[in-house]
Amino acid sequence: MDKFDYDLFVIGAGSGGVRAARMASSFGARVAITEDRYLGGTCVNVGCVPKKLLVYASHFAEDFENSRGFGWKVGSTDFNWQQLIKNKNTEIERLNGVYEKILSGAGVELIEGHGSLVDEHTVAVDGKNYSAERILIATGGWPSIPDIPGKEHVISSNEVFFLEKLPEKVIIAGGGYIAVEFAGIFNGLGVDTTLLYRGPLFLRGFDEDVRKFLAEEMRKKGINLKFETIIDSIEKTDNQLQATLTDGSTLTADQILYATGRKPKTEGIGIESLGIKLDKAAAIVVNDEYQTNIPSIYAVGDVTNRVNLTPVALAEGMFLARRLYNNETSPVDYENIPTCVFSQPNIGTVGLTEEEARDKYDQIDIYKSSFMPMKHTLSGADEKTFMKLIVDKATDRVIGVHMVGPDAGEIMQGIGIAMKAGASKSDFDKTIGIHPTTAEEFVTMREPVD
């Protein structure tokens, strides 16, 4: 008889947990997974997927406008938020079902309920104990909202996808991925949108040229960007919210969205009682093989607060299953992870920023280009695209690629492969462009800037 009920018990059916569970099962392990909220985790339910659908929805306003220059006469348009949310919910429910099928098809047992650790080999789900040789914690993250007076009136990315009514006026607090993405979504849908960021320029950590360029483009679209200030307190007055800012001014809105980061979801799962080591940000500390200080307990994804992106959690979950149940050792490569901010226009980026490259390399060449994309020669829109290559002069290796413009995420995926393959600037130069595209600019930039 087996010593344990399962070989692997996974807590959390988000991107990392589901991938690890089904891969482990495909290698012959006996696997169970528990989830108390929704299958697919943040990405599928209140993250990447619904966000992208909302970005598509919001872009139509501009598309209708832009079509006129191409001879279209667009009749009166009308947007129905409730319809969008209903359709989005139907799609998400479909995906929840797909996840359920994927798990059952892979032979993983799904145990619905709240899982918490009892000891190093036991998880309790709603009062019933399950034993496993190994336990994987993949509980993800949760929006983090600073303690300010009136905090109870704000929403986070958990609620924004389910608003019953589209606000007329919105304030977004924060200057990261979620803040700029939702500023674009609300503004596109015709909402009077203000984004507040505490520092001098949002998107800290991204290339400075990119940050400045995006700020300019967002302002051109009518988004009110206010930097060096943030909300001090919020009061509810009738149907409005009044925010008093740290610069003393006040702003009113009917919704205030806080996008001030996410914290690892480590509470309420018995981590403290087992003495699992957490870092200062309350993230689970793991070694290179995602093992915690308790040898039978592992963790992957946002709960470890390394690189909080879905594809990274997938890669970590996959590595763990291969390592434990298929004897494979090739580790996750965290170098040159391409990423996209679905702002309007998009940011696509891979590799080092200019600031990082200057710190790391003796001499670098910078290639930059900003131009009006062909589409806007007729659309009449005043939107520009920006592209930038950073090259290590000594080796000719391309060490950073950045873009602000439509489909930057799509373009950057291919560039990410080139970077992984160690492409040099002369490889970029030797590549024949696809004409006429925006992306061809990446292979035709000849002269470095001073």
Binds ligand NDP (CB under 6 A): choice among 114, 151, 198, 212: 198
Peptide bond into 143 cis (omega under 30): no
CB 203, min distance to ligand NDP, A: 7
The answer to whether 370 contacts ligand NDP (rule: CB under 6 A) is no
Q: Which residues have CB under 8 Å from 130's CB, separation 6+?
A: 5, 6, 9, 32, 111, 122, 123, 124
Q: Where are the beta strands (DSSP E) in 149-212?
A: 169-173, 192-197
The answer to whether 230 contacts ligand NDP (rule: CB under 6 A) is yes
For 292, counting Cβ atoms within 10 Å of its Cβ (0-12 exposed, 13-18 middle, 19+ buried), the class is buried
Give me the phi and psi of 92, to 5 degrees please: -65, -40
Max CA-CA distance within the chain?
74
Distance CA 8, CA 324 (A): 10
The answer to whether 146 contacts ligand NDP (rule: CB under 6 A) is yes
The answer to whether 422 contacts ligand NDP (rule: CB under 6 A) is no
Joined together, the tokens standing for residue 441 give 């600019």
Give me the phi and psi of 336, to 5 degrees please: 50, 55
Of 114, 376, 402, 435, the active-site residue reads: 435
Whether 142 and 295 have beta carbons less than 8 Å apart is answered as no
Binds ligand NDP (CB under 6 A): choice among 6, 99, 142, 177: 177
Q: Which stretch binds ligand NDP (CB under 6 A): 164-172, 240-248, 253-261, 265-273?
A: 253-261
Distance CA 33, CA 212 (A): 44
CB 225, min distance to ligand NDP, A: 12
Looking at beta carbons only, is 31 or 230 nearer to ligand NDP? 230
Please confirm, yes or no, whether 435 is among the known catalytic residues: yes
What is the 8-class DSSP label of residue 434?
P
Binds ligand NDP (CB under 6 A): choice among 204, 219, 277, 360: 204
Whether 219 and 201 have beta carbons less than 8 Å apart is answered as no
Joined together, the tokens standing for residue 116 give 């918490």
Joined together, the tokens standing for residue 43 give 């990405």
Whether 100 and 225 have beta carbons less than 8 Å apart is answered as no
Binds ligand NDP (CB under 6 A): choice among 314, 340, 419, 439: 340
Looking at beta carbons only, is 114 or 263 nearer to ligand NDP? 263
Joined together, the tokens standing for residue 164 give 């019953």
The answer to whether 262 contacts ligand NDP (rule: CB under 6 A) is yes
Binds ligand NDP (CB under 6 A): choice among 8, 309, 364, 412: 309
Sign of the dihedral through C-alpha 127, 130, 131, 132: negative
CB 280, min distance to ligand NDP, A: 14
The answer to whether 342 contacts ligand NDP (rule: CB under 6 A) is yes
CB 101, min distance to ligand NDP, A: 26
Q: What mask, x for binding ligand NDP by CB under 6 A, covers residues 61 to 100? A: ----------------------------------------
The answer to whether 349 contacts ligand NDP (rule: CB under 6 A) is no
Q: Where are the beta strands (DSSP E) in 344-397?
A: 347-351, 364-371, 385-392
Question: Look-up: residue for tokens 């983090």?
Answer: 144
Looking at beta carbons only, is 146 or 422 nearer to ligand NDP? 146
Looking at beta carbons only, is 215 or 309 nearer to ligand NDP? 309
The answer to whether 339 contacts ligand NDP (rule: CB under 6 A) is yes
Give me the phi and psi of 374, to 5 degrees please: -50, -40
Joined together, the tokens standing for residue 158 give 């958990």
CB 22, min distance to ligand NDP, A: 23
Q: Which stretch binds ligand NDP (CB under 6 A): 5-13, 98-106, 336-344, 384-392?
A: 336-344
The answer to whether 261 contacts ligand NDP (rule: CB under 6 A) is yes
CA distance between the termini of the chain? 72
Give me the phi and psi of 371, to 5 degrees please: -160, 170
Q: Which stretch binds ligand NDP (CB under 6 A): 28-36, 116-124, 173-181, 327-335?
A: 173-181
CB 240, min distance to ligand NDP, A: 22
Binds ligand NDP (CB under 6 A): choice among 108, 341, 415, 418: 341
Q: Which residues are catalytic?
A: 435
| Residue ranges that bind ligand NDP, judged by CB under 6 A | 146, 174-179, 181, 197-199, 202, 204, 230, 259-262, 308-309, 339-342
